[in-house]
Structure 1
Amino acid sequence: MALPRRVYRQPVPAGPGRRPAPWSRHHRTVFAELIDGPLAHLPSGRFNANNAWLSCIAIAHNLTRAAPTLAGRPHHTARAATIRRHLINVAGRITRHAREVTIHLPERWPWQHNWRRLFTTAHAPPA
């Protein structure tokens, strides 16, 4: 029985008139983020369960990658773990008073301006 031969796409070496593929580093980073994160926890051997999990992974990944675009420049090229640590997993306290909801964020928090820009852009009134 012959084993299948795997063909891996190699980037074109740099030289006169040739550039390496610009997508290669980006794709490796995206795959590494997904494999180290949610893809390591596929729930079962059942197709439907894994299909639902992969759909949730795709939605969460796209939202995580869209957040730094709205938040500002420092997080634009950050990895998913950094985005989660700086913008998503925020230690805040939610209070209600007189039918108003208030979020109390940490004082002297270095990413508060980026988080506030993301929040106001995501919750802006419809145009």
Structure 2
Amino acid sequence: MINKVVFVEAKFKPVGKINTIMVPSGEKKKGLFGGEKDIMTEERSWEQTGWSDCEIDGGKLSEDLQNAIMSLNKEGYEVISVTPVTSAKYKYDWDQQKGRRDYGGSGYGYGYGYSYTEGLTIVAKKIS
């Protein structure tokens, strides 16, 4: 039996903003002094400004998984398992303020962490 392992990387979600611009509608209206003026309409468009640092794109991951499975099937492999691979990020900081001699001073500290799906591992076996 021949096995094959494939890693499908998760991509982060695109982040952006919505831009609003005024564009001519193609229609005209008469002005106060007999001239014609374009009628403007509001048009919205989404502009990508970067990538999320904490949210993965689940739809894209599903598509990539489907493509990897189809490729394995074409090569004569049958999928045995799909396992998520989890990673994590964290940040912390602390600081101590010096106080008077008879006091120890004060300080603060904080920390946080979170996990996310880094990707998926597919294990497949060759069909005889």
The reply to whether TM is greater than 0.5 is: no
Flag the structure with larger Rg. 2
Structure with the bigger RCO (C-alpha within 8 Å, sep 6+) is 2
Q: TM-score, normalised by structure 1?
A: 0.22
Larger relative strand fraction: 2
Report the TM-score when normalising by structure 2.
0.22
Give the structure with the larger helix fraction.
1
